[in-house]
Amino acid sequence: MKITGIILAGGESKRMGIDKTKVSFNGKNLIEYPINLFRNKCSEILISSNNNNLQEYPFFKINDENKRKGPLSGIYSCLKKSINNVNVVISCDMPLINSELFNYLVENYNNEDLLMPYYNSHFEPLFAIYSKLLIPKIEELFSKKDFSPLSLIPICNFKKLEINNSLNFYTKNLFKNINTLKDLNYIK
């Protein structure tokens, strides 16, 4: 299966106060975690970014078509440029997502429009598989001024993927994202 890896790095980092992609965690910039995760697993890597701060990374950077409308705007813009139907989306601020979880996600994909992890009683839209078939569904949401990825669930071919402590790669912080410099102290 050919997969495009989409890295969401277009946020404004308001809570962080500095460019989140360049924040160091365990000796690497946050942007390097998803790049390393996708490097040998995806035939294409796209970075959703609305600034020119990532020139040192040799991947296609995509600007949001709908500025300041949240992660769904970045997902939508990248889906339109992706060469593959299957797209694994990850936020650049989730450094604990591991290869085992990536593999589990892909192994459980069966041509759904959207495959999204479900853990601790909520969905994780910022590490999920999005099909290019969602483009018109996202446009439908945008026409209603709805910019939530979760709004796709009832209007597409959706699959929920349970993630819990029965899986050998599970940790309680697996989906933890780093929004502030203080978060660096609490993530392991």
DSSP 53-105: TTTTS-SEEE--SSTTS-HHHHHHHHHHH-SSSEEEEEETT-TT--HHHHHHH
What does the alpha-carbon distance between residue 162 and residue 168 come to, in Å, rounded to a whole number?
13
Q: What's the pLDDT at 101?
A: 97
Output DSSP code: residue 129: E
**Phi, psi dihedral angles at 158 (to 5 degrees):** -115, 145
Q: What's the rounded mean pLDDT across residues 139-167?
A: 97
Q: What's the pLDDT at 14?
A: 58
Q: What's the rounded mean pLDDT across residues 112-131?
A: 97
- Give the pLDDT confidence of 6-33 residue by residue, as tens digits: 999 976 555 555 667 877 888 898 999 9
Separation of first and last alpha carbons in the chain:
32
Map out the domains of the chain as residue ranges. 3-185
- Which CATH superfamily, name and number, covers 3-185? Spore Coat Polysaccharide Biosynthesis Protein SpsA; Chain A (3.90.550.10)
Least confident of 19-33, 103-117, 144-158: 19-33
Mean pLDDT of the chain: 90
- Give the pLDDT confidence of 53-80 residue by residue, as tens digits: 777 878 888 888 877 788 999 999 999 9
Q: What percent of the chain has pLDDT over 70?
A: 90
Q: What's the pLDDT at 96?
A: 93
Q: What percent of the chain has pLDDT over 90?
A: 69
For residues 33 and 101, is the Cβ–Cβ distance under 8 A? Answer: no
Q: How far is CA 185 from CA 13, 91, 102, 178, 180, in A?
A: 18, 19, 25, 10, 10
Say what the pTM is.
0.93
Tokens representing 37 are 């995760």
